Structure 1
Amino acid sequence: MKRTPTAEEREREAKKLRLLEELEDTWLPYLTPKDDEFYQQALKRKARMIPSSKAEIPMCGMLALRSHGT
C-alpha cells in the first residue's frame, strides 16, 4: 500500500522541480577525485571554514598537512 506524502515532502519535491526548471540545460560540473579541479574545490571549501577559536588554527593546519601527506 502506497503512503501519502506529507506536506513537507510535497514542498521539498516542488522546490526540486522549480530548481530543475530554472536550471534547464545548464551544465553542472560533477567532479571526482580523478579530476584536477576536485582538490582545488575541496581546498577552497576548507578555506571557507573559519576556526572558532585560536586553538583550532594550528590543529586545522596540521590536519591539512596530514591530508596532503607531508
Structure 2
Amino acid sequence: MKRTQTAEEREREAKKLRLLEELEDTWLPYLTPKDDEFYQQVLKRRVRMILTLKAEILILGMLVLRSHGT
C-alpha cells in the first residue's frame, strides 16, 4: 500500500518540477573521472579551497597580533 505524502514532501516535489520546467533543455555539466576536464576542475576547486584557507589563516593571525597589541 502506498503511503500519502506529507505537505513538505508535496512542496519539495512541486519545487523540483518547477525547476525542471525552468531548465527545460539547458545542459547541466556533469563530469566523471572519464571526462578530460574532470581533473582540471578538481584541481581548480582544490586551489580555490587552499587559497581560501590560507586567507582565513592570515586573517586569524592578524587578529591575534592585533589583540596582543603588536
Given the two structures, how large is their TM-score scaled by the length of structure 2? 0.60
When you count helix as a share of all residues, which structure comes out higher?
A: 2
Deviation at 1:9, TM superposition (A): 0.8
Deviation at 1:48, TM superposition (A): 4.2
How large is the Cα RMSD of the aligned pairs?
Answer: 1.9
Cα distance in 2 between the residues matched to 1:18 and 1:24: 10
Sequence identity of aligned pairs in percent?
Answer: 83
Aligned twin of 2:28: 28
Cα distance in 1 between the residues matched to 2:26 and 2:18: 14
Structure 2 unaligned runs (5+)? 59-70
Cα distance in 1 between the residues matched to 2:4 and 2:47: 43
Structure 1 unaligned runs (5+)? 55-70
Cα distance in 2 between the residues matched to 1:8 and 1:46: 36
Query: Could you list the runs of 4 or more consecutive aligned residues of structure 1 that deviate by over 4 angstroms after TM superposition?
Result: none
Cα distance in 2 between the residues matched to 1:42 and 1:24: 27
Letter in 2 for 1:29: P
Letter in 2 for 1:43: L
Aligned twin of 1:15: 15
Deviation at 1:4, TM superposition (A): 0.4
Cα distance in 1 between the residues matched to 2:44 and 2:12: 29
